[in-house]
Structure formats: C-alpha cells, structure tokens
Amino acid sequence: MAAQREWFEKDYYAVLGVPEGASAKDVARAYKKLAKQHHPDANPGDREAEERFKEVSGAYDVIGDPDKRREYDEVRHMVAAGGPGGGRGDPRFAPGGMRFDFDSGGVGDILGGLFGRSRRGRAPGPQRGHDLETELHIGFLEAVSGVTSSVRFTAEAACSSCAGSGARAGTSPEICQQCGGSGQVAVDQGPFSFEQVCTACGGRGRIVREACETCGGRGTEMRSREVKVRVPAGIDDGQRIRVKGRGAAGARGGPAGDLYVVVHVRKHPIFVRRGANLTVKVPVTFAEATLGAEVKVPTLEDPVTVRIPPGTPSGKVLRVRGRGVPAGASGRGDLLVSIDVHVPEELTEEQRSSVEALAAAFTSDPRAALFNGGGGAPTSSTRSGSTAAAEGATGAKRKRSPKASKSSKSTASRDGQAAAEPPPAD
C-alpha cells in the first residue's frame, strides 16, 4: 500500500490547485486542465513535465474517486487532530468524537498498511474451508421420484492420521505462550495501537512441536472422498444441491466448507419435461381423429384413458391434470398429450379404394380460404388441369409397380408443379 502512505505526506488538493471543499466538477475541471498542460505528448523529452503529469494523475486518482476522497479526508483530519486517543477513552475516537473503526476496513486498512499491519493479509484463528463443486448424473425417473446417490471426488480433507491437529500421533499442539492462544499480539506505533498476527504461532494460537508425518503439520491432506447425496423429487437438469459441511477441510481447526452438487438428468425416450409438466406425443388414426375415440396414454405410473374429441387436428394438445412432475408444495404438474394423426405410408388396393371413395364424398375445398384474399380461388379449368396432371403421373407409375401408386401421388403436387420436400422428422 505504498501509494496510500503518501496520503500523510501530500496535499492532493494543493497539487490540483483546488480548495478542500471543491465540488467533484471543479476537481475534474482542474485535473483536465493540468493534465492537458503537462501531458508527455505535449512536452516531448521534458522529464519535469512528465513527473508533474504523474503527480496530477495520482492526485486525481484519489480525490477524483468519492470513496477514496472520503477516506483521504478522514486520515488527514485525524492526523491534524493529533491521532487517536482523544474521546471517550476509546483509542478509536479522535479528538472531537470522530470514530475510526480499525477493524472494519477503510481507514484501519490504510493505517495498518503504513505500519506493517495488513488486516486483509492476516489469518488469525481457525478458517473455514473452501466450498467445492462436483457433478452427479441420474436417470429421468430418478429425478422425478427422488433418489439417494453418492459422488466421488478428490479434495482436501482432515488428515486421517492426526484428525486435523497437525501434530504427530501421540502428541498434541501446545498453546502459544506469546499470544496466549489468541493468534494476535498488540503493537504500539506512537499514537496508534494495532493488533497483528503472532509471529511465534503464525496466527494459529497453537504450536506444533512434532509435526504429523502424513500431512507435515498442515492438518489436511488430499484424498479421494465419497459423499452421499439425497436428490429431492422433481429436481430439474442443471440444478444444484448443497451438502453442508462436506467441502474442503478448514484451516487451523476451522469448519469445513460446503459441497455443491450439480445434477444432470438423462433424457427419457418418450416423455419431455417442461418445468413441472411432461409432454408426450400420441399417434392416432385418421378415423379416431375424425370420429373421436378413447385411447390409452402412458404416464409415469399406470396408463390413463384420454377421450379424443371428434374432429381433433394433428398437433392439438390435451391436458391430463396431476400426471406431471412433483412440484413441492404446489403439488404436481400436468401431462400434456400432443395428438399426432398417423398417415399410413403404404395402402392395400382395398384401403386405397376406400380412401378414394371417402375423398369423393368430401366436396369442399379446404384450401379455398387461401385464395379468397389473393385474387380468388383457382378457376375450374385450372383445377381440372391440375387433377389431370396428377392423374397422368399416377397412371404412368401404376404400370410399373402397384405399390408405387401411393408415393407417386405424394410427389406430384395438385397444380402440376414439383412438390416440396417433407420437413425433417422431430
């Protein structure tokens, strides 16, 4: 913290030529003027201008930042008042009642650095271990119903020989005589008084005379570990489970960290999860979709019967309540049944005759609405020509193979043009 040592020695307000109570805009305006005047590009080869530019930049780095400026002002006011020691008999109060908390960062960190005490660098007493993260792969049904599994990983753990004490088997750590087991000692620096890490025990409060041969006195060792994990019902892919106290071992007898397990759920061949709901695609025949029917649908437990209303189109979704994934206090999600009207790829002659008879019975044009707003429906002559082209293609291929008649009609469009390729399967 060498830069902050200068806070006691330099008047940054004087460097920028502004009063102590100057506004942020005035400070910025003064900095820009001086920086432009002494910039190295404007004064090539001028070492004095370069040093002046660095000085101006350093001053603005402190009082141009609201947080740094507040700390800088506190330090200057405290030193001007003669240092701590005045108010309420508490060394953290300067004359006039201003309180300086040397244990909560800010000014305490600044002064600690100036006198060889770095609060952020000390490590007195026990320290909590690091949190760890690992992964667990489970099946779809295990995620839905919940399961108890285990994970294996390699990490720091309490030494198996000394149980974390760091002392050789048969011995115990001794209380440090210099700090009395606190890990800290008081140091007086003129008007200031600080606490710093005990140099005798390194902040541990204990001294190991004979180190453990397994861990070398550290109290921890790297080893393979196995931890049981309870996976709650309804967990989703990517969620994390916290296992308290099963992370890395703590230092100097401190508590262990936590273990976080990221759960990955394998896909199901039939069901797809959407939050607490499940989706399943159920094929039905043309007759079932047209006339209506009752069909069996698989669930996570026993199958259920779903009524298909007459005239159900392909893609329509029917909801079966309470057959989804457990959702905690809100109960369970639903099963969403997506209807898929099955179109046969091959037909016998009898089936073809029946379908052609059915087609002749339907006189309405389902595509008529497509042309109502774009110049009207096709003329009768155009429709006749389209039909003739399709029938001609069918007749030509029927001579080669009776089974090819169906595919011939599917590849010839109704307007005599080449048909588009079918979309890729789901």
- pLDDT tens digits, one per residue of 267-321: 999 999 998 999 999 999 999 999 999 999 999 999 999 999 999 999 999 999 9
Q: 180: phi > 0 → left, psi -120 to 50 → alpha, else beta; which?
A: left
Instruction: Locate 374 and state its tokens.
Output: 């774009």
CB-CB contact of 178 with 226 (8 Å): no
Asked if residue 248 belongs to a domain, the reply is yes
Q: Which residues contact residue 424 at a Cβ distance below 8 angstroms, ignoring those fewer than 6 apart?
A: none
- pLDDT tens digits, one per residue of 36-54: 888 777 787 788 887 888 8
Asked if residue 104 belongs to a domain, the reply is yes
User: What's at 373, amino acid-wise?
Assistant: G
Asked if residue 89 and residue 114 are part of one domain, the reply reads yes
Determine the Cα–Cα distance for residues 223 and 351; give it in Å rounded to an integer: 70
Q: Which residues contact residue 14 at a Cβ distance below 8 angstroms, ignoring those fewer than 6 apart?
A: none
Asked if residue 246 and residue 143 are part of one domain, the reply reads yes
Asked if residue 261 and residue 138 are part of one domain, the reply reads yes
Mean pLDDT score, 250-268: 87
Domain coverage including residue 326: 272-341
Of residues 80, 98, 65, 66, the one with CA closest to residue 11 = 80
pLDDT for 378 beyond 80: no
Asked if residue 419 belongs to a domain, the reply is no
C-alpha pair distances (Å), 411 with each of 23, 216, 395: 80, 79, 13
pLDDT for 416 beyond 50: no
Asked if residue 354 belongs to a domain, the reply is no
Asked if residue 203 belongs to a domain, the reply is no
Asked if residue 137 and residue 108 are part of one domain, the reply reads no
Stated pTM of the model: 0.52
pLDDT for 115 beyond 50: no
CB-CB contact of 312 with 286 (8 Å): no
**Can you name the residues that pair with 147 across neighbouring β-strands?**
231
Asked if residue 187 belongs to a domain, the reply is no
pLDDT confidence of residue 6: 66
Q: What is the pLDDT confidence band of residue 380, given thresholds at 50, 70 and 90?
A: very low
CB burial string 363-400: b at 16+ within 10 A, e below: eeeeeeeeeeeeeeebeeeeeeebeebbeebeeebeee
Asked if residue 21 and residue 105 are part of one domain, the reply reads yes
Asked if residue 65 belongs to a domain, the reply is yes
pLDDT for 346 beyond 50: yes
User: What's at 5, amino acid-wise?
Assistant: R
Of 216, 233, 265, at which residue does a domain stop? 265
Asked if residue 138 and residue 96 are part of one domain, the reply reads no
> Which CATH number do you get for residue 322?
2.60.260.20
pLDDT for 350 beyond 60: yes
Q: Which residues contact residue 190 at a Cβ distance below 8 angstroms, ignoring those fewer than 6 apart?
A: 83
Of 231, 250, 265, at which residue does a domain stop? 265
Instruction: Locate 49 and state its tokens.
Output: 């201008």
CB-CB contact of 113 with 1 (8 Å): yes
User: What's at 76, amino acid-wise?
Assistant: R
Strand 277-284 with 272-274, pairing: antiparallel
pLDDT confidence of residue 253: 67
Return the percent helix, strand and coil in the chain, to nearest 5. Answer: 30, 25, 45
> Which CATH number do you get for residue 115?
1.10.287.110
Taking the CB of residue 417, how many other CB atoms lie within 10 A of it? 10
Asked if residue 257 and residue 242 are part of one domain, the reply reads yes
Asked if residue 277 and residue 241 are part of one domain, the reply reads no
Q: 387: phi > 0 → left, psi -120 to 50 → alpha, else beta; which?
A: alpha
Determine the Cα–Cα distance for residues 395 and 27; give it in Å rounded to an integer: 92
Q: What is the pLDDT confidence band of residue 410, given thresholds at 50, 70 and 90?
A: very low
pLDDT confidence of residue 119: 44
Of 248, 265, 282, at which residue does a domain stop? 265
Asked if residue 226 and residue 167 are part of one domain, the reply reads yes
pLDDT confidence of residue 176: 86
Asked if residue 278 and residue 257 are part of one domain, the reply reads no
Of residues 287, 309, 283, 285, the one with CA closest to residue 425 = 283
Of residues 175, 343, 334, 164, the one with CA closest to residue 256 = 164
Asked if residue 116 and residue 55 are part of one domain, the reply reads yes
CB-CB contact of 84 with 191 (8 Å): yes
Mean pLDDT score, 109-114: 49
Determine the Cα–Cα distance for residues 36 and 42; give it in Å rounded to an integer: 8
Asked if residue 96 and residue 18 are part of one domain, the reply reads yes
pLDDT for 187 beyond 80: no
* Torsion sign over Cα 262, 266, 268, 274: positive
CB-CB contact of 335 with 320 (8 Å): yes
Asked if residue 180 belongs to a domain, the reply is no
DSSP one-letter code for 313: P
Mean pLDDT score, 97-120: 45
* Torsion sign over Cα 54, 60, 62, 65: negative
- What number of CA atoms fall less than 13 Å from residue 186's CA on the CB side? 4
Q: Which residues contact residue 180 at a Cβ distance below 8 angstroms, ignoring those fewer than 6 apart?
A: none
The domain total for the chain is 4
pLDDT confidence of residue 1: 33
